[in-house]
Chains A and B, each alone.
Chain A
């Protein structure tokens, strides 16, 4: 049996804006990093170490945005059963896991010279680590579940539960013990650093959107191929493939 090749037109799923974003986002990040480095004087206590903040803090903020996307997409999937929401949630989870891991690693590198330890059991560190493990569990569940519909429903449930749990973990660890410095926000940071932080956060956000869109696009293509393959396999012998 001869299988006709897939037409590339069938794989055009999202608009082409993300190609442009793929150029703009890295350039923006380079520009904002340069801006951050140029405008900030070395910190009185931390010196140039402070510049880790320009990646660490934006990565952390955007990791939470990614998890928020997972949560919303999961809820929408359970309400509509539209496969696209499931694929969006999965894409956001992958990017979110990378950003969360980046946040933890940079924080650890920064913490060693500043606090004198690689790790402390404070509320935000610990709940970020738990968040990473929830992401990992979510992705592992997807990897180990074969049936796509079942995978979508289950991972939506896990995504919602995970989102519900993150604030609870945060509060419970906080009651347990805490020593993290007050959360960095433009109001607690010297104005000299604030703009560097804001701009970098926007650049990382652009990158986040690009990665999620790109991953989503690939996921859609994979699903289309799977549907196509099922269609071909279920087709009665000798019947032509409809276009």
Chain B
């Protein structure tokens, strides 16, 4: 499991151009959404959390593609499957590597979002960090799972978002609402509820993906 993660991360580190491109796309998405919404500060602030998550979604999709694409191009997936070890360990390793890459992208995109959308870091930042981590975990779990299939079909560029985005609705809602409550103010005090929901979603999807993964990766 850690070997798979280390391998993927090494490949990612050696090809720095990719992660730079993905991060730039995330920042660009924020900028373009800003143009679409207009310069009104109050509107920008209320929309900030949603747009931030969308930009993570769009750049994340590219990360997931790449995770399997490198192996498919080199014909290495078959070899990887021949190694002794459980199938779920491959999934867990890829999940871990994708999680690291997406978190790295977020580490740059989130500050950009804070600046562009005039949002200041709230006092409750540990809770915000928890929402971001849990939201990312749910997103990466489903993304790693679906891209295992979508990357190996024709027209994979369309197929991954088509499969992934409807499945992401619960995670996206909880993450957006949770972070929005923490960033803009939380009159109803429901950030904690969204946080607990995210934990539930993450556990369900993680377990389901670990169980089903062996069926979608061939021997």
Contact = CB atoms under 8 A, between A and B. Distances in A.
A10 to B, nearest CB: 30
A168 B170 contact: yes
Given A153-B216, A168-B201, A144 B163 contact: no
A137 B154 contact: no
B39 interface: no
A66 interface: no
A157 B167 contact: no
Interface string A124-156: 000000100110110011001110001001101
B208 A164 contact: yes
Given A134-B167, A140-B162, A161-B208, A156 B177 contact: no
B208 A150 contact: no
A96 B117 CA distance: 42
A130 B155 CA distance: 22
Interface residues of A, number: 29
24 contacts: A78-B215, A133-B165, A133-B166, A134-B167, A137-B159, A137-B166, A140-B158, A141-B150, A141-B153, A141-B159, A144-B155, A145-B152, A145-B154, A153-B215, A153-B216, A157-B212, A158-B149, A158-B163, A160-B208, A161-B167, A165-B170, A171-B170, A172-B174, A173-B173
Interface of A: 78, 130, 133-134, 136-137, 140-141, 144-146, 150, 153-154, 156-158, 160-162, 164-165, 168-169, 171-173, 175-176
Given A145-B154, A146-B154, A160-B212, 19 more contacts: A78-B215, A136-B162, A137-B162, A141-B150, A144-B154, A144-B155, A145-B153, A153-B216, A161-B145, A161-B167, A161-B212, A165-B166, A165-B169, A168-B170, A168-B204, A169-B169, A171-B170, A172-B197, A175-B197
